[in-house]
């Protein structure tokens, strides 16, 4: 892939997003309750036009949005991303009626979306889903089973739900359904997690769905899921890069002014070299994220590999950078309310969700052996 750099318009837009995050979004995020959907924050994202842009932008624009917001307000970044993840299957595979009913509400922030793929026994192994869609007449099913670790559950207004319609068929027997939250038999509970954004479980007790609720085609839901993840995995990397950059910025400021051993902390070679390593890894991850997003936007054949590489490198990098930043700040970084204390809790989850790091390595290896010409 050819080298590239951001256009001046893109750089200016990123600066504008960071300003909006600091001035308009961070105050609303501060008023939210950890582990709960912050509807005023979602609504403000809608008023700013950022949610609507989820459905008109390419992968690179999505990455720029997520990275820019994450540098100043991780809560706003996550609220934006979850709206996109939950509603993208509706945008890409929904019927005209589904799109007309739901997408304007997601775009203006009046409806909260969620992507319901993971289960207690099928987190990383998405083809092993056990939520069952039992036939209930022509073009009708009943959903029975459980979903777990679902972001925005149980408070979302609509769920993209993946259920098994053909037993023992692996990935070929999964169907994607658009399930409104008010369907009878659908209940859920919030889960207390390390990550501060809302995550919960969902219970399906013979929840009725029909052919009008199918996203795409019956038994082709795995394709819907993987298409969505191929788009969003590089932008998970962008989220990670944004957090890494925030941690790096804080560390540069702290080490430059902190008195230590007769000088500044930055005068110590061990500190300066550690900060240099943090910057090196952050920039390398950013370039890989942008390359993967550009590959998606240009229809390159190796998108699954590039998406996996970008997500893997960026999330592992962010973990390193945030941890190093905490070490260089010392005990103050562990105090509740400190930026790095917040980032330390935020940074761990992206190495697990939308495919754990081990899954990304498996995807990369599979693509390398399947497409030797793409090495």
- The residues that are catalytic are 354
Question: How many residues in total does the chain contain?
Answer: 375
The DSSP letter of residue 119 is B
Please give the Cα distance from 215 to 81 (Å, whole number): 20
Please give the Cα distance from 168 to 174 (Å, whole number): 10
The CB density around residue 40, as the number of other CB atoms within 10 Å, is 13
How many helices and strands, by DSSP H and E, does the chain display?
12, 10
> Is there a contact between 178 and 208 (Cβ–Cβ < 8 Å)?
no
DSSP states along 34-82: TTS--HHHHHHHHHTTHHHHTTT--HHHHHHHHHHHHHH-HHHHHHHHH
Please give the Cα distance from 71 to 79 (Å, whole number): 14
Terminal CA-CA length for the chain: 12
> Is there a contact between 318 and 241 (Cβ–Cβ < 8 Å)?
yes
Give all strands (DSSP E) within the chain, no chain letters. 113-116, 132-135, 140-151, 158-164, 174-180, 186-190, 199-210, 214-215, 259-260, 263-264
The DSSP letter of residue 116 is E
> Is there a contact between 355 and 361 (Cβ–Cβ < 8 Å)?
no
Please give the Cα distance from 116 to 278 (Å, whole number): 35
Please give the Cα distance from 375 to 370 (Å, whole number): 10
Question: What is the distance of C-alpha 272 from the center of its chain?
Answer: 32
């Amino acid at each position: 892939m050819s080298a590239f750099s951001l256009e001046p318009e893109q750089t200016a837009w990123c600066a504008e997003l960071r300003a909006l995050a600091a001035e308009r979004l961070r105050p609303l995020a501060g008023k939210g309750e950890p582990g709960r959907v912050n509807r005023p924050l979602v609504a403000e994202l809608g008023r700013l036009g950022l949610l609507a842009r989820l459905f008109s932008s390419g992968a690179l624009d999505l990455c720029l949005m997520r990275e820019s917001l994450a540098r100043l307000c991780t809560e706003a970044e996550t609220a934006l991303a979850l709206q996109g993840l939950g509603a993208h299957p509706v945008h890409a595979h929904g019927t005209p009626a589904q799109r007309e009913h739901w997408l304007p509400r997601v775009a203006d922030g009046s409806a909260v979306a969620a992507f319901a793929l993971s289960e207690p026994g099928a987190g990383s192994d998405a083809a092993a889903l056990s939520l069952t869609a039992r036939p209930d007449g022509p073009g009708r099913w009943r959903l029975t089973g459980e979903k777990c670790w679902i972001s925005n559950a149980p408070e979302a207004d609509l769920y993209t739900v993946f259920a098994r319609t053909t037993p023992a068929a692996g990935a070929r027997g999964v169907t994607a359904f658009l399930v409104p939250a008010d369907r009878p038999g659908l209940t859920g509970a919030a889960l207390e997690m390390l990550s501060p954004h809302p995550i919960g479980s969902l219970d399906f007790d013979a929840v009725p769905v029909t052919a009008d609720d199918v996203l795409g085609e019956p038994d082709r839901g795995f394709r819907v899921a993987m298409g969505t993840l191929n788009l969003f995995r590089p932008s998970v990397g962008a989220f990670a890069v944004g957090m890494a950059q925030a941690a790096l910025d804080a560390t540069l400021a702290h080490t430059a002014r902190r008195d230590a051993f007769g000088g500044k902390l930055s005068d110590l070679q061990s500190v300066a070299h550690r900060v240099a390593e943090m910057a090196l890894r952050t920039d390398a991850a950013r370039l890989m994220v942008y390359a993967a997003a550009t590959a998606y936007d240009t229809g390159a054949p190796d998108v699954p590999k590039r998406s996996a590489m970008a997500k893997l490198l960026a999330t592992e990098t962010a973990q390193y950078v945030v941890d190093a930043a905490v070490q260089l700040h010392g005990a103050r970084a562990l105090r509740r309310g400190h930026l790095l204390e917040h980032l330390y809790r935020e940074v761990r989850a992206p190495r697990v969700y939308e495919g754990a790091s081990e899954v990304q390595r498996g995807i990369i290896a599979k693509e390398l052996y399947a497409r030797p010409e793409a090495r």
